[in-house]
Amino acid sequence: MIRLAFVVVVCLVVLAACSRSEDPDSHIASEIAAELEHTKAIDNHAHPMRVVAGGEQDREFDALPADAVQQPAMPVPASPDNPMFARARRELFGSEAKAAAAKQRGDSYPVWILNHTNTEIMLANRVAMGRGLSNDRFKWVPFVDMFLFPLNNSAIKQKDPEHAAFMKNEENLLAGYLAAAQLKSPPLGLDDYLIFVTHTLEKFKSDGAVALKFELAYLRDLNVGDPKKEDVERIYTIYVQSAEPSAEEYKVLQDYLFRYIAHEAGRLGLAVHIHTSIGVGSYFRAANANPLALEPLFNDPTLRKTRFVMLHAAWPFTREAATLILKPNVYLDYSAFYYLTYPHPAARNLRFFLEMAPEKVLYGSDASPFSDNVGWEETAWAASKMGRQALGLAVTAMIEDGEINTERGKRLVHMVLRENARQLYGW
């Protein structure tokens, strides 16, 4: 009898252990965990690297040079020391050296990474695409900030070393696009400059772009005014060939150009991605990234054809962002959110979004090179795990609180990991 009781107890203990999911700390309902695992993601925001030849370097994964940042000033979980990144390296490469793994797979290496991070399509936020970033699995999101800065940028450069380096890069990018349009410098008239911008955006579109990216919060605030064209014309015409505009005058031109690009994006069927969260670098102004500043833009009836996506869950402005996704043309991705904080706190915030407008919430990895050891491959892998974990925790908590049933929970997982992106981009 005693032996039988012992066997029963052992069986119960084993059953209890088995009924939990793999990670005893995850608190994710098993049906939700299964849905997370078998749903291939559409990753709304990442910086994958192209395949390079020996000695070649890929500098096009971001428009702002990472080496300009002397002090990353990032939260603890976003440090390359996060054990998830070491785990990612083990899981992806085993005992093989990463460089050898890449070399062996050649041009198919980036797709191999997608296949090993449970990702079907990755939006590649890059200056340009390149080798190995095949257009069926990687969709291009070019940067557009440089179009906002055609005048003398000395005052912005003088702010601090990061602004100096960022702005120099924006100037180089603009010079490159002007040269591609057979222009040596910005045209003397505003209308001609707008034509150049439109042609370049149309070229982006025909080269496969699905969205445009503003990382404006790295350069200035997001209070985009709605100036009159004649004021803008006057400012442009004076300062395009002489002197330096005042900060107020320059802002008027930048605001106009931002709206112009947003409008063109709507016409061309390109979404507009906006960096709205803390940023890398010790001079970044968090207040600049508050997405509430974008509300007048989102409320502009002439821009309702443009679909805006706030990136990185707008951390730490998550509550503000949650209210903004109620607007018909405003979306949000939670790329990097679960390593700007950790998956558990990210899940608590993710829940706000799912309780507001679940059809507007998109998964993203922000996979990008962090350090010599932690590349876009490791961040993509870690994000695929932690991003799913945060989503699973949020959905499970909603089920446990009786807000939704398990079927609806599974549906939310599917929507956030891929269906919402398919709807947004029309795939």
Shortest separation between residue 342's beta carbon and Zn ion, angstroms: 19
HSE-up of residue 304 (Cα within 13 Å, Cβ side): 6
Instruction: Round to whole Å and give the CA distance between 77 and 74.
Output: 8
Instruction: Round to whole Å and give the CA distance between 194 and 227.
Output: 15
Shortest separation between residue 289's beta carbon and Zn ion, angstroms: 13
Neighbours of 334 (CB within 10 A): 35
Shortest separation between residue 52's beta carbon and Zn ion, angstroms: 20
Shortest separation between residue 46's beta carbon and Zn ion, angstroms: 7
Angle 30-38/376-400 helices, nearest 10 degrees? 150
Q: Given the complex with Zn ion, which of 122 and 240 has the nearer CB atom?
A: 122
Q: Tell me which of 264, 333, 366, 377 binds Zn ion, using CB under 5 A.
A: 366
Element (H, E) at 166: helix 161-180
Q: Is 67 left (phi over 0), alpha (psi -120 to 50) or beta?
A: alpha
CB 331 within 8 A of CB 310: yes
Shortest separation between residue 141's beta carbon and Zn ion, angstroms: 9
DSSP class of 143:
B
Span interacting with Zn ion, options 34-42, 164-172, 346-354, 365-373, rule CB under 5 A: 365-373
Q: Given the complex with Zn ion, which of 162 and 366 has the nearer CB atom?
A: 366
What's at 157, amino acid-wise? Answer: K
Q: Given the complex with Zn ion, which of 45 and 220 has the nearer CB atom?
A: 45
Q: Given the complex with Zn ion, which of 249 and 366 has the nearer CB atom?
A: 366
Q: Given the complex with Zn ion, which of 340 and 398 has the nearer CB atom?
A: 340
Shortest separation between residue 48's beta carbon and Zn ion, angstroms: 11
Q: Given the complex with Zn ion, which of 255 and 366 has the nearer CB atom?
A: 366
Span interacting with Zn ion, options 179-187, 252-260, 362-370, 401-409, rule CB under 5 A: 362-370
HSE-up of residue 102 (Cα within 13 Å, Cβ side): 16
Shortest separation between residue 280's beta carbon and Zn ion, angstroms: 9
Residues in the chain: 427
Q: Does the protein bind Zn ion through residue 162 (CB under 5 A)?
A: no
Q: How many residues at the interface with Zn ion, by CB under 5 A?
A: 1
Instruction: Round to whole Å and give the CA distance between 103 and 97.
Output: 10
Would you call the peptide bond into 245 cis, given omega within 30 degrees of 0 as the criterion?
Answer: no
Span interacting with Zn ion, options 68-76, 191-199, 256-264, 366-374, rule CB under 5 A: 366-374
Q: Which residues bind Zn ion (CB under 5 A)?
A: 366
